[in-house]
Chains A and B, each alone.
Chain A
Amino acid sequence: MKEFRFRIILILGAVALSLYLLYPTYADSQNTKLINSKLEQFRDSLRTTNPELSEDRFERLVSMREDEIFASNPDFRDAREKRIKLGLDLQGGMYLVMEVNTAKLLEKLAKDPDQKFLEILNEAEQQAKIEEVNVVSILAQKLQQNNIRLSRYFGSIRQDDSEIISSLEDQESDAVTRAIEIIRNRVDQYGVSEPSIQRQGARRIIVELPGISKEEDAKRLLQGSALLEFKIVRDADFTIQVMNAVDNKLAELLKSPSDTVNVGDTTAVEDMTEEQFAREHPFFSIAMINPQSPFADAFVRQSDRPKLESYLVRPEIQNVIPDNVQFVFWAKPEATQDGEEIYRMILVNKKAELTGGVIVDAQSNIDPQTSAPIVNMQMNSEGAREWARITGANIDKRCAIILDGVVYSAPTIRNKIPSGNSVIEGIGDLTEAKLLEIVLKAGALPAPVDIIEERTVGPSLGQDSINQGFNSTLIGLFLVAIFMIFYYSKTGVIADIALFFTVLFIMGILAGFSATLTLPGIAGIILTIGMAVDANVIIYERIREELSTGKTIRAAIQSGYSNSYSAIFDSNITTFFTGVILYQFGSGPVQGFALTLMIGIACSLFAALVVTRVVLDMMAAKGMKVNIG
């Protein structure tokens, strides 16, 4: 048995690993069932208690409740992250390819564009639609043909055409970066689960939004221009006051009748158990405040955010918050604690002091004196006038820079800024500075994007596809297995075991890579089932041949295998190559197919060359009768 030990450990290890990798997928499907039943209960109770709730609001509350359930148990999230993901074609959702509209961007960038310029730009745009050339270079070429220097419209007079062209191309690339940031920001706020936003090539953005059904909502989300606002942050005393009011009101609202006994309980704060504290101070237990800090900024765990937001939108709570202020969250997490992201929340004036239209430009830099990252910001004359007034009146207060409703930065105003040229300091690192630059520019220079491809799959088609794919896999597996037993009898069973392991390994590897399973991907698995027996068939046929020359079974297995290697490798490597090419060519679903096909080839080879071999060798070693059909 010793000679088999290594291989058996290898096989058992592979099986154990596959099962381990697949467990989250199983757990997630169980969790989903549980969550869905809870949500159904919630829906029913909501319908009976608040029958006049509008549909939008109803759905929003349900989705908040879902987030809350999800956040309540870290295992749920863990399983969700590690499961085999389903592609958009299986779970439904939207796939969009967007392209930055360079022509519109150029029109915005041009200094006093005249009729002639617009005509040429239009021609360039039309031409770019047919040819694979950049609008910028076509425009430059056309302007040159008309004997117009680029500096007539862009840059400064001293720059020559090539300098301007390269700066315009930079602007174009910046616009894509900006558009991605705006989209990511909004998608995050909108609460789409597992969105994917990628840059493709120079000017394209691919967005995948699973589970979105109202297309127009999603498209507005992606296309509308961004709203950049400057809002004054309220001071700590006032903020604490508001928070206290909210906390008290919440405690009152959440108190169940049985708790009334505890009213008047004078236990000191430090003696309270966590549970008690949470009951007495529902707001402060999830929106934590640093007592050492001069600011009253609250810090909220990612998992508590949905709960907090659902508290804050309650009409009773809205009533205790003054009309002219609002709570806003930071766009990016402040820090992570125990693997969980912490967000900062502040109280700002509802009315914006200034909106982003006045910003002319922004650059991130390194301060030569302190070598700390800074961002320079310039405003137009109208903005500068307003800015001087605002900064003058709010010295030592903080001013939040808010894009589409979330805060990116809240620097303190040090002194009155008369010229509109401001320097923002106190930024963590250069990446953060770069992000702030993008955000500031987003207000000034919208990045016009066009949707050039749009695919939506409804949830019912996705579910049908899952069922059909699953059934086809089972039927295919069953038929092939029966055939193998029929044709190779006992050794057919061994081939079937190898086949079963192949499918198990494929699924395990898919889960391990957290790959996305698409409908063509399922087709790839089904096809692999048919082709996976190939290596076994080659080997079995070869062993039969060797047996017919009068060899013993052990020798026949030995030479059967060694004579099959070259055929098996050469044929599978060529097929594997086509898989690689397919992966390069395709997008989304087709890549899923290529991936399962390639993984399938590798797994079926392992199963035939290791699993089947061990079983055959062991049978021969024990002197059992090996009957190849």
Chain B
Amino acid sequence: MRIFQNTNFDFLGKRKIAYIFSGLFLSIGLLSLLFRGIEFGIDFKGGSEIALEFEKPIQISEIRDYLSDLGLGNVEVKTFGGETGILVRSELQEIPNELFPKVIETLEQIINKNFPDINFNLVDSTRASVTYQINDKDKLESIIRTLFQNGFQATKFSQEEDNDKFIVRVGISDWIQENLLANMPDNKFQVLKEDNVGPKIGKELKRDAVVAVLLALVVILVYLGFRFKFVFALGAVAALFHDVLITLGVFSILYNVIPGLNLEISISVVAAFLTLVGYSINDTVIVFDRIRENIKIHKTAPLEDNINKAINKTIPRTVITSLTTLVVVTVLLFFGGEVLRAFAFTLFFGILIGTYSSVFVASPFVLEYAKRIKKGIQF
């Protein structure tokens, strides 16, 4: 079967339309980036995040209500996976000072209620945990189990035999779990994942991510500059900038628009961006390789013809490879699960835009440059 047989389409002749199209997309994306901004995930922002899986379907709005007056400030609640999963996120990393007494009170109430004849006193407390000493050390294990059942993580202070102390972690996720358990006693949940990222890590990651993407562009520029004429390298990198910026714009525009699609920048999304860079450059290089070949064979033909011919000759391959890759990425988007969704989306969109840019951005860039300098490009 052949979709394209001896196509002879004037791609470069249509480049003005492509400029308008790209320009439009870029400016909408940039405007959105400017005014709507972009959402960073916990990897970059820092904070606490917890994903829970309930036994029965839940109403997100209901959970939002339970969590709104927790004293944790802005708490985000989203679906995670199907209708039984939720993702709760707070920008805080530890319980704020003013909330601390309330958490302690809740904690002590739980112990009092379940073990009325036990005496205990607070011996130490830090921002992240409190330590209690009790008068009956044989009850330690059952107290710890009860606290676990109420959403608090507790453990013995030490494994020594005469230990009579236990530690309770008082973190954001414990407080959230405790409150959900108290509010929804007949819909049990289990913790799918829990992340806690310090602000320092996020800052470093942001820097590393930017460095990685820029480094990738520089390496590509150098390698292609070495293998091709420098203008080709510039054209390829211009196309990559185009792809990355437009995809970022799409992230900004579509964030929180499509239900079930959490479009925020996480580490895996950055990985997807780098992959998109790698994929898009792959396409571009194959067109360039053909242009290089054509220029060598048809030395006297105008550059525009050579480029057009190259694009036409490679278009079957460009389309087929994009198609097979799009197919697997679509599979990933629908069957790959919640964790990979934003990653798959980035690649899905990136492949579309990357294929487009290798034909309509990278090659026209070379042509425009050649026209400006009024000199033929030779190899």
Contact = CB atoms under 8 A, between A and B. Distances in A.
B275 A578 contact: yes
A461 interface: yes
Given A216-B155, A480-B324, A455 B195 contact: yes
A579 B191 contact: no
Interface in B267-291: 267-268, 270-271, 274-275, 277-279, 281-283, 285-286, 288-290
Contact of B286 (A456, A548, A571): A571
B327 A575 contact: no
Nearest to B343: A523
Interface stretch (A5-13, A119-127, A465-473): A465-473
A97 B195 CA distance: 12
Contacts of A563: 293
A587 B292 CA distance: 38
Given A214-B155, A530-B326, A537-B320, A582 B167 contact: no
Nearest to B208: A585
A629 B278 contact: no
Given A214-B153, A224-B158, A531-B321, A480 B328 contact: yes
A116 interface: no
B347 interface: yes
Contacts of B223: 573-574, 577
A567 B155 CA distance: 61
B327 A483 contact: yes
B256 interface: no
A89 B193 CA distance: 9
Contact of A468 (B190, B191, B335): B335
A227 B160 CA distance: 11
A475 B285 contact: no
The interface centre, meaning the residue of A570, A584, A590 with most chain B CB atoms within 10 A of its CB, is: A570
Nearest to A563: B293
B336 interface: yes
A431 to B, nearest CB: 29
Interface stretch (B54-62, B213-221, B241-249): B213-221
B1 interface: yes
A574 B289 contact: no
B267 A586 contact: yes
A557 to B, nearest CB: 17
B289 A571 contact: yes
Given A453-B198, A530-B327, A523 B336 contact: yes
A593 B270 CA distance: 12
A402 to B, nearest CB: 13
B324 A454 contact: no
A528 to B, nearest CB: 9
A2 interface: no
Contacts of A577: 216, 219-220, 223, 278
B67 interface: no
A454 B195 contact: yes
The interface centre, meaning the residue of B53, B200, B208, B336 with most chain A CB atoms within 10 A of its CB, is: B336
B: contact size bracket: 35 or more
A252 B123 CA distance: 47
A113 B347 CA distance: 56
A268 B248 CA distance: 82
Interface in A478-520: 479-480, 483-484, 486-489, 519-520
A460 B193 CA distance: 9
B182 interface: no
B278 A574 contact: yes
Contacts of A523: 332, 336, 340, 343-344
Interface string B304-339: 000000000110110011011111110110011101
A215 interface: yes
A216 B281 contact: no
Contacts of B278: 574-575, 577-579, 597
B51 interface: yes
B2 interface: yes
Interface string A209-235: 000001111011000100100000000
Contacts of B197: 453-455
B200 A567 contact: no
A484 B1 CA distance: 10
Contact of B281 (A405, A545, A571): A571
26 contacts: A54-B141, A129-B200, A216-B155, A452-B198, A455-B197, A457-B192, A458-B190, A461-B51, A461-B192, A468-B337, A472-B332, A476-B331, A520-B340, A523-B344, A530-B324, A530-B329, A531-B321, A533-B320, A537-B324, A541-B316, A573-B223, A574-B285, A581-B212, A582-B271, A585-B208, A589-B267
Q: Which 3 A-B pairs have the closest CB atoms?
A: A578-B278, A530-B328, A530-B325
